[in-house]
Amino acid sequence: MSQSDQSLLVALVGNPNTGKSTLFNALTGLRQRVGNYPGVTVARKSGTCDCGNGQKVELVDLPGLYSLAAASPDEQVVTDALAGNIAGDRQPDAVVMVVDATNLLRNLFLASQVAELGRPMVIVLNQSDVADKQGLHIDTALLSQRLGGVPVVLASAWKGEGVAEVRRGIATALAGRIQMKRVAWPAKIAAALTDVVQDAHRDTGKDVSSAEAQRLLFDAGNAHSDRLGWSQAQRDKSLRAARDKVRTSGYNPMAAEPLVHYAHLRALLEGVLREGSVRAGRSAAVDKLLLHRLVGPVLFTVIMLGLFASVFWLAKFPMQWIQFGVDWVKLTVAHSMDSTPMLQSLVADGIIGGVGAFLAFLPQILILFLFVGILEDSGYMARAAFIMDRMFSWCGLNGKSFVPMLSGFACAIPGLLSTRTIEDPKARLATAFVVPFMSCSARFPIYALMCAAFIGPIYGPGWESAVMVGMHCVGLLFAVPTAFVLTRFVLKVRPQPFVLELPRYQMPKPRDVLWRMWQNAAEFVSKAGTVIFAITIIVWALSYFPRDASVAERIKAANPAATEEGVKAKVQAAYVEQSYMGRFGKAVQPVFDPLGFDWKITVGVLASFPAREVIVSTLGVTYSVGEGAKADSQHLRHAMQDAKWQEGPRAGKPIFSLAAVLSLMVFFALCSQCGPTIATLAQESGGWKWAAASFVYMTALAWIVSALLYQVVIRLLP
Amino acid sequence: MTPLSQLLPGQFGKLASLNPERGVDQRLMALGLLPGMVLKLVRKAPLGDPLAIEFGGQVVSLRLAEAENLIVDVSADCPIQRPRPS
């Protein structure tokens, strides 16, 4: 259905944890479009909703929030969207206010703020089944009457109850254009608001609504006046006078809005809400266990380790199938292109190889999104943040940084996407900056190869495992001080308080969880996929060209006795050596010499900048064992164990000394070698500045730490 | 008059004053925590910080340092006073 078919736009607004997304899915039936609001990392979800009478409207699901006070990007988007101030978006023709029936007062505060914008409204009392169980009885007819006649609908989106009534309510609101009754501002506050409207109009020439004037008067931030183009001096003068006027009425201007709204709502709810035999919810009892001082952290560890282990174990099988399928496709396609070797290499090695390597990560990502979705919808995620906050607050992060960082151990991209749940912009940016330090699964192959080839055979399996575990901690070790310095000395963003609702526990709805998993995975594929695809082709071209036929003939002539396989691998190695990538690797090898890397490792490192997992197959090519090398390849291990320096002061000594092995692993632990991560970081931080900073910082840090490590270890154990 | 940060788990109090200029207090006011509201310190996180408080039928977490400026009256006629030993 195209945009132009729908003349009417309806916005879904509500507090977090009200079941708003469940209702949205129920109303739109998953016919949804996901985009982004211009200039911010807030997703714009919209879909087509049938109003039950054949009328179709576009329904947009605005981010959940508690107040219109624009402290976070999410809140700013809602305020702007409702006021029609978003470029390319219309002002909604009606608002569906999703209200948690078990907490009417707090939820209606937002409704009362939204009412100031003067849009027709429907009030949906969602989760009414839970309210019933708690013994709450709501007189909806009386409530509707008290709210000025707006439709009030009881619903339980989870159970699918009342959805048809919501559809009818939307149609009624659109037809009748009924607005929710507004709060009556005390005279002095009303006068102050009028002053702000007039001053802003005088200074900027723009028409300012009363709702906008409220944001200007009551909010500490100045996003609104910036948008109006109101100069700071004029704005401060006007707002100071207006706030002084509010003070004369006995209200603190920073407290006036909630005080007036809540007083208005308390009076309004008188007699609407009858509490029968109120039974305490089960959440308090569950919290007694899950947040217990001793049991809580133990269960937390079990849940998180379980999540983490299942991401790896469950993903193992589909990953193998994908690998198998990709190899088969590669062989089949390659076979059919034997007559055109360049095209064969481009399609088989470049395109299929690159896309396959990327697809192999998809199962992990899907499972990760699935589990995170379950934790979020059940209400445990807020508890996890509650338990972990103290561990993160000292270095400027908060409890919500935990999940992005944990996800980062599988893949940085879902980690970066999940930083969106962090409201505080400072903690959000700092978390996004340190997520790429987490030891993602693309780092695993190089650790496995090096440990199996050099640590295990020499120092035994005990050390092999210890080094494997240690390598997974290196990134974390550097991430924490990085976050500390970043939030303390670099980021100038004003920190937000960490106020977090611990919502009622709830059974996650499978459809919602799966749907969000699908949406996130689609975003991952479209984002990472395109970057990987482009980069793969560039790297392929750099290591394929130039390709003079004389190179192959020379190798064949020099090795008359060798097997066909052996010659093929040697020819390939020779081609890579004289390719642009090989020449470049040799040219910049001196830069990596202090880290103990020869030109072959240097080529591997350079080829891995777009995607670090490429290192193993590149080493396979440069060490002449053929390109299909895996981390458990015996040939590659032997070739590397036998490799010796050919010239210079280290001539005759093995290239892969303990110093070089550790240096190479630490380099991969710390270096920024992932194109899609950089692209995602740029998007999530709202610009290339932070992505560039991350790249330079991580790469420089990797070089410095690896160089120091190599120089120290090579002297201790020459 | 006691800072909220000094309540014991399970203890009730009535909010006496807050500082509307502070961001955390503005957030709490939006959630309905206004002077005169009865609240309960439900628990502290396992590491002692943050706190979970209950008011108006909801449980909200806030940091110890942010709870210091919220002054509560523990002597007011609140529902059952039943501090647990800490």
pLDDT band at A626; cut points 50, 70, 90: low
Contacts A385 to B, Cβ<8 Å: 61
Please judge whether B60 and A67 are an interchain contact, meaning their C-beta atoms are less than 8 angstroms apart: no
Q: Which two tokens stand for residue A278?
A: 């109120």
What pLDDT is stored for residue A612 in this prediction?
Answer: 86
pLDDT digits (tens, 9 = 90+) for A691-702: 999 999 999 999
What pLDDT is stored for residue A296 in this prediction?
Answer: 94
Contacts B45 to A, Cβ<8 Å: 291, 386-387, 389-390
CA end-to-end distance (rounded Å), chain A: 70
| Extended strands (E) in A500-645 | 500-501
Contacts A215 to B, Cβ<8 Å: none
- The reply to whether omega before B50 is within 30° of 0 (cis) is yes
What pLDDT is stored for residue A18 in this prediction?
Answer: 93
pLDDT digits (tens, 9 = 90+) for A372-410: 889 989 999 999 999 999 999 888 898 989 889 988 888
For range A628-636, the mean pLDDT: 71
Using a 10 angstrom Cβ sphere, with 0-12 exposed, 13-18 middle and 19 or more buried, the burial of residue A595 is buried
Please judge whether B57 and A102 are an interchain contact, meaning their C-beta atoms are less than 8 angstroms apart: yes
- Partner residue opposite A258 with nearest CB, options B30, B42, B45: B30
What pLDDT is stored for residue A279 in this prediction?
Answer: 56
Please judge whether B59 and A258 are an interchain contact, meaning their C-beta atoms are less than 8 angstroms apart: no
What pLDDT is stored for residue B84 in this prediction?
Answer: 43
- The CB density around residue A373, as the number of other CB atoms within 10 Å, is 20
Tell me which of A663 and A571 has the higher pLDDT: A663
What pLDDT is stored for residue A187 in this prediction?
Answer: 94
Q: Chain A closest CA to B75's CA: distance in Å?
A: 24
Please judge whether A502 and B22 are an interchain contact, meaning their C-beta atoms are less than 8 angstroms apart: no
Element (H, E) at A378: helix A362-378
Please judge whether A498 and B61 are an interchain contact, meaning their C-beta atoms are less than 8 angstroms apart: yes
Q: Chain A closest CA to B40's CA: distance in Å?
A: 13
What pLDDT is stored for residue A385 in this prediction?
Answer: 93
Task: Please provide the average confidence, as pLDDT, over all residues in chain A.
Answer: 87
Contacts A112 to B, Cβ<8 Å: none
Question: pLDDT > 90: what percent of chain A?
Answer: 45
Q: Best residue in A113, A390, A496, A501 to probe B by mutation, most B CBs within 10 Å?
A: A390
Which stretch, A212-226, A453-467, A533-547, A562-576, has highest mean pLDDT? A453-467
Contacts A247 to B, Cβ<8 Å: none
pLDDT digits (tens, 9 = 90+) for A254-269: 999 999 999 999 999 9
Please judge whether B34 and A258 are an interchain contact, meaning their C-beta atoms are less than 8 angstroms apart: yes
For range A305-315, the mean pLDDT: 84
Task: Please provide the average confidence, as pLDDT, over all residues in chain B.
Answer: 87
pLDDT digits (tens, 9 = 90+) for A58-111: 999 999 999 998 777 778 889 889 988 888 888 999 999 999 999 999 999 999
Using alpha carbons, select from A288, A290, A281, A269 the residue that is nearest to residue A127: A281
Cβ A521 vs Cβ A36: under 8 Å:
no
Q: Return the CATH superfamily for domain A3-176.
A: P-loop containing nucleotide triphosphate hydrolases (3.40.50.300)
Has residue A525 got a pLDDT over 90?
no
User: Chain centroid to CA A10: how far?
Assistant: 27
Has residue B32 got a pLDDT over 80?
yes
Please judge whether B63 and A496 are an interchain contact, meaning their C-beta atoms are less than 8 angstroms apart: no
Q: Is B48 in CB contact (< 8 Å) with chain A?
A: yes
What pLDDT is stored for residue A280 in this prediction?
Answer: 60
A interface with B, Cβ–Cβ < 8 A, is 66-67, 69, 71, 102-103, 105-106, 109, 220, 252, 254-255, 258-259, 262, 283-284, 287, 291-294, 296-297, 382, 385-387, 389-391, 393, 399, 496-502
CA-based nearest residue in chain A for residue B61: A500
Q: Chain B closest CA to A255's CA: distance in Å?
A: 6
- Partner residue opposite B47 with nearest CB, options A258, A385, A390: A390
Q: Chain A closest CA to B72's CA: distance in Å?
A: 18
CA-based nearest residue in chain A for residue B32: A106
- The reply to whether omega before A718 is within 30° of 0 (cis) is no
Has residue A274 got a pLDDT over 50?
yes
The full set of domain ranges for chain B reads 2-73
What pLDDT is stored for residue A75 in this prediction?
Answer: 82
Tell me which of A622 and A415 has the higher pLDDT: A415
Has residue B54 got a pLDDT over 60?
yes
Query: DSSP alpha helices (H): ranges in A231-294?
Result: 232-248, 256-269, 283-290
Has residue A278 got a pLDDT over 60?
no
Has residue A628 got a pLDDT over 80?
no
Using alpha carbons, select from A385, A427, A379 the residue that is nearest to residue A406: A385
Please judge whether B29 and A258 are an interchain contact, meaning their C-beta atoms are less than 8 angstroms apart: yes
pLDDT band at A425; cut points 50, 70, 90: confident
Has residue B44 got a pLDDT over 90?
yes
Element (H, E) at A213: helix A210-218
Contacts B21 to A, Cβ<8 Å: 220, 254
Please judge whether A498 and B20 are an interchain contact, meaning their C-beta atoms are less than 8 angstroms apart: no
Q: Best residue in A218, A398, A499 to probe B by mutation, most B CBs within 10 Å?
A: A499
Please judge whether B56 and A105 are an interchain contact, meaning their C-beta atoms are less than 8 angstroms apart: yes
What pLDDT is stored for residue B83 in this prediction?
Answer: 43
Please judge whether A500 and B61 are an interchain contact, meaning their C-beta atoms are less than 8 angstroms apart: yes
CA-based nearest residue in chain A for residue B57: A103
What pLDDT is stored for residue A10 in this prediction?
Answer: 95
Please judge whether B43 and A252 are an interchain contact, meaning their C-beta atoms are less than 8 angstroms apart: no
Q: Is B80 in CB contact (< 8 Å) with chain A?
A: no
What pLDDT is stored for residue A552 in this prediction?
Answer: 75
Q: Is B61 in CB contact (< 8 Å) with chain A?
A: yes
Using alpha carbons, select from A304, A405, A372, A401 the residue that is nearest to residue A508: A372
Element (H, E) at B64: helix B64-67
What pLDDT is stored for residue A4 in this prediction?
Answer: 42
What pLDDT is stored for residue A704 in this prediction?
Answer: 97
pLDDT digits (tens, 9 = 90+) for A117-175: 999 999 999 999 999 888 889 999 999 999 999 999 999 999 999 999 999 999 999 99
pLDDT band at B77; cut points 50, 70, 90: low
Question: How far apart are the C-alpha atoms of B42 and A296, rounded to whole Å?
Answer: 15
Has residue B75 got a pLDDT over 60?
yes
CA end-to-end distance (rounded Å), chain B: 20
Q: Best residue in A294, A502, A506 to probe B by mutation, most B CBs within 10 Å?
A: A502
Q: Best residue in B18, B24, B29 to probe A by mutation, most A CBs within 10 Å?
A: B29
Please judge whether B58 and A106 are an interchain contact, meaning their C-beta atoms are less than 8 angstroms apart: yes
Please judge whether B29 and A393 are an interchain contact, meaning their C-beta atoms are less than 8 angstroms apart: no
pLDDT digits (tens, 9 = 90+) for A560-579: 777 777 777 777 778 888 88
For range A619-636, the mean pLDDT: 72
Has residue A342 got a pLDDT over 90?
no
CATH class of the domain comprising B2-73: mainly beta
Has residue A325 got a pLDDT over 70?
yes
CA-based nearest residue in chain A for residue B65: A497
- Partner residue opposite A497 with nearest CB, options B42, B48, B66: B66
Helix axes A510-544 and A614-622, enclosed angle (nearest 10)? 20
- Partner residue opposite B43 with nearest CB, options A71, A291, A497: A291
Query: Which residues face A136 on adjacent strands?
Result: A275
- Partner residue opposite A259 with nearest CB, options B34, B56, B62: B34
pLDDT digits (tens, 9 = 90+) for A474-499: 999 999 999 999 988 888 767 778 89
Q: Best residue in B61, B80, B84, B86 to probe A by mutation, most A CBs within 10 Å?
A: B61
Has residue B82 got a pLDDT over 60?
no
The ipTM of this complex is: 0.91
pLDDT band at A625; cut points 50, 70, 90: low
Q: Give the distance between the most distant pair of CA atoms in chain A.
A: 101
Q: Chain B closest CA to A71's CA: distance in Å?
A: 9
Contacts B64 to A, Cβ<8 Å: none
Please judge whether A106 and B42 are an interchain contact, meaning their C-beta atoms are less than 8 angstroms apart: no
Question: How far apart are the C-alpha atoms of B41 and A309, rounded to whole Å?
Answer: 36
Question: pLDDT > 70: what percent of chain A?
Answer: 96
pLDDT digits (tens, 9 = 90+) for A13-57: 999 999 999 999 999 987 788 877 776 767 789 999 999 888 899
CA-based nearest residue in chain B for residue A285: B42
Question: How far apart are the C-alpha atoms of A190 and A214, rounded to whole Å?
Answer: 10
Has residue A434 got a pLDDT over 70?
yes
- Partner residue opposite A106 with nearest CB, options B48, B52, B56: B56
What pLDDT is stored for residue B78 in this prediction?
Answer: 58
Please judge whether A66 and B31 are an interchain contact, meaning their C-beta atoms are less than 8 angstroms apart: yes
Q: Which residues contact A289 (CB under 8 A, 6 or more apart)?
A: A295, A296, A299
